Amino acid sequence: MRKIIMFGVRDEERTVAENWAKEHQVELSINEENFTPELIERVKGYDGLSLSQVGKLDESLYAQLHQMGIKQIAQRSAGVDMYNLALAKENDIIISNVPSYSPESIAEWTVAMALNIIRKYDLIQERVNEHNFSWTPEIRGRLMGDMKVAVLGTGRIGQAVARFFKGFGCEIIGYDLYPNSQLSDLLTYGDSIEEVIKDADIISLHMPATEENYHLFDKELLLKCKKDAILLNMARGALIDTKALIEVLDEGHLMGAGLDTYEEEGPLIPKNLTDQTIEDELFLQVINHPKIIYSPHIAFYTDEAVKNLVEGGLNATLEVIETGTTRNRVN
């Protein structure tokens, strides 16, 4: 019987994984801990490995996994920036992802964040809690349907985001390294990021994180946005220079930002730190900033997505075991 070991498994994922194992006649070891060098011995005797890695994977593990005969790591998410893909390839390890598990879940959260900022929901709720029910310009919103939305990255998630904003009547402009000619009824592509963002009221990021786009939105690019623009990031924290974003917001250049990710979130997400001291001062500035709405990387987090991520990761693991490769290989 084929044997697969999983790490980083939450309680809600366990039943999905167990049902999958029964259906596919696979022996499955389920571990709630994240995979670290201290746990390498648990992998001995298994054919495949499925992870839900958030922070960087310790680079000493690639060679150790190779020595144990492990041929792949199946990441249970779309993003794979936590892996050294070149080092994995050197050790004959296939890295796979789950490229599409619920684009609509992320798109819904993106639009919800935009509406929250545009309609001043947090400020209104704060005033309601103080029994201040007056109507004043501070809480007056804007009509989203009159806005121009820039979607950076027009893959599955970006397309869903564009469709949802289009449903409100927004004009959609897009940017992608590989423009999709089939989206002409949905959006108009720009030739550069600078061109796309300069007149956009809402800028929504749906790009993978790479070495080339690290801190893509630095202070220089942020200042090229409209002064009252809204920046949304449901993709990867490394796309934005967080210090620069806070500076720009403090200077009054952007209306606000909606962030579902933070560039140093590895030690923080998804953990309950209620009774602990958070020492990351930059992160504290993010979650306490009056112009930032932050959520802990949960844009994807729906019933459908949880099921699809678990099954997608395990399907890729089994595919490599049985065929030597997978359609979801990223290296």
271-323 tens-digit pLDDT: 999 999 999 999 999 999 999 999 999 999 999 999 999 999 999 999 999 99
Closest CA to 265 of 294, 291, 232: 294
Whether residue 234 is contained in a domain is answered as yes
CA dihedral 6, 9, 15, 20 (to 10 degrees): -30
Question: How many domains in the chain?
Answer: 2
Residues 32 and 140 grouped into a single domain: no
Residues 86 and 153 grouped into a single domain: no
Residues 107 and 97 grouped into a single domain: no
Residues 242 and 96 grouped into a single domain: no
Q: Is the pLDDT of residue 23 over 90?
A: yes
Percent of the chain past pLDDT 90, that is, above it, reads 95
Tell me how far CA of residue 251 lies from CA of 219, 233, 245, 254, in angstroms.
Answer: 11, 20, 10, 8
Whether residue 329 is contained in a domain is answered as no
| Residue 303 contacts residue 66 (beta carbons within 8 Å) | no
| Residue 254 contacts residue 231 (beta carbons within 8 Å) | yes
Residues 96 and 119 grouped into a single domain: no
User: How far is residue 127's CA from residue 121's CA, in Å, rounded to a whole number?
Assistant: 10
Phi/psi region, residue 168 (left: phi>0; alpha: psi -120 to 50; beta: rest), is: alpha
Token pair, residue 45, equals 């005797």
Token pair, residue 322, equals 């049985």
User: How far is residue 149's CA from residue 232's CA, in Å, rounded to a whole number?
Assistant: 11
Residues 286 and 177 grouped into a single domain: yes
| Residue 122 contacts residue 176 (beta carbons within 8 Å) | no
Residues 312 and 244 grouped into a single domain: no
Domain of residue 34, residue span: 3-101+303-323
Residues 150 and 163 grouped into a single domain: yes
Whether residue 331 is contained in a domain is answered as no
The residues annotated with a catalytic role in the active site are 236, 265, 297
Residues 70 and 189 grouped into a single domain: no
Count of CB atoms situated within 10 Å of the CB of 279: 8
Residues 118 and 147 grouped into a single domain: yes
Count of CB atoms situated within 10 Å of the CB of 237: 21
Residues 44 and 79 grouped into a single domain: yes
Quote the pLDDT of residue 207: 95
132-161 per-position pLDDT tens digit: 999 999 999 999 999 999 999 999 999 999
CATH of the domain at 69: 3.40.50.720
Quote the pLDDT of residue 135: 98
Residues 290 and 173 grouped into a single domain: yes
